[in-house]
Amino acid sequence: MVSVPGATNAREILASIGQTAQLLFRPVLCKTTTAAKLEPFTGTALPPCGPQYSMAASNLGVSPNPQSPAGYTMNPVQPDPSFSTFPSTPSSADLASQTVLLPATSDSSERYILGPAQMTGTSLKNAIAQQDQAGAWIVSYNLTGAGSALWDQVAYANFHGLVAIELDGVVQSAPIIQPGETAPRSFGGSGQISGSFTESSAKNLAIAMQFGSLPVRLEPLTTQTVSPTLGHSALVAGLGAGLAGLLIVLLYTIIYYRALGLVIVLGLAVSAAALFAIISALGKTALAPSFDLAGVTGLIVSIGITVDSFIVYFERLKDETRAGRTMRSSVDRGFKSAWRTVLAADLVSLLAAGLLYLIAVGAVRGFAFFLGLSTLLDIIVTWYFTRPLVTLLGRRSSESSSNFSMAAGIGAEVKHV
């Protein structure tokens, strides 16, 4: 699902989505600036860079230097002024097999003359922005099996030279290949791009490498235009309805089950805290879920599933105590019987949510995601939280005749053993 807040022209958005992102790795031949007035694009081949402006390794003279903040030193190479009036290569002429002139994202006035592409984004497996041990932002990436061997060839051919990472006609980055090494070596299927990155620039580069590596063309299946007021109102109404229903359910369970009603409240609180932690963690990854109206609906449905698990257990406790067993023995026997029912029901819900997530598109996947995650948490909370807490209450209730005790909640007589 692609959401574009603030967009008004759906036709233009669909046209942009339909374009295939093209991630290319090209050798940097030289740099140039942008003149105040550019010549019109004619489509003729670009001339070679001047020898003194070439970004070849022999001109750069890269040398490892542990004393340098960057870990290496290099000769300054000036931009080639002969290209300053040349127009940047348009997207229609940006072919992988051609030499092109493209702008850099870091500086709008700086441009690169790039050779034919030596590798495409299909060789990348993933990329992520993170901080190294010194706290500096870097971009770590992994390559596919075939991409690992190809990248080693590209690195060997451009050792101590610059390789530009181009996405759709813009140079995202142009790192030097292994500046801290004295001889080329294999990357072993993974590597890092370092430099003067900010958190934002590192994440932008990682996103470009991650999603520019997808060799797919997006085909629009459904489109929907929702006004900001309507979308916000629907989400607020959904949250309000969910909270109102939750409060009514909790109030009823406390009145009906007494102390066990508080177990339901605490169990839902633990599930909510775990759900919030998981969603917050996923929010920093490519798997970040969309908390929209469909997701809220999934959460509301999952509340019913979670409360059902408590009720199944508590009603089984009633059956055990009515059969004449003590509170302590009823707690253990009741859970063993109820656990099978709870587990079977949750596994069915989990399977349904998983299948729905796999076959659905758009907002329906958000519903399936939150429903499946909440159901999985219900299984964990039932075993690791509800069971020990009810066991503890059962021991205390065996000695208590309070109207708010666990025994009062399930209509059991207090029996001392």
Residue 215 confidence (pLDDT): 57
Outline which parts of the chain fall under CATH 3.30.1360.200: 20-36+50-211
CATH class of 20-36+50-211: alpha beta
As a dihedral over the C-alpha atoms of residue 211, residue 7, residue 224, residue 288, rounded to 10 degrees, the angle is 40
Answer yes or no: are the C-beta atoms of 59 and 107 closer than 8 Å. Answer: no
Q: Is the pLDDT of residue 51 over 60?
A: yes
**Rounded average pLDDT over 333-362:** 88
Q: What is the pLDDT of residues 223-235, one digit of tens each?
A: 665 555 545 666 6
pTM confidence score: 0.52
As a dihedral over the C-alpha atoms of residue 241, residue 247, residue 252, residue 255, rounded to 10 degrees, the angle is -170
Q: What is the pLDDT of residues 247-291, one digit of tens each?
A: 888 888 888 888 888 888 899 899 989 988 888 887 666 566 666
Q: What percent of the chain has pLDDT over 90?
A: 36
Q: What is the pLDDT of residues 190-224, one digit of tens each?
A: 999 988 888 888 888 888 887 766 555 556 666 66
- Residue 117: name the closest of 141, 92, 150, 83 by CA: 150
Residue 276 confidence (pLDDT): 86
Residue 132 confidence (pLDDT): 86
Residue 417 confidence (pLDDT): 44
Q: Is residue 232 classed as helix, strand or coil in its secondary structure?
A: helix
Helices (H), 195-292: 199-211, 228-257, 259-282
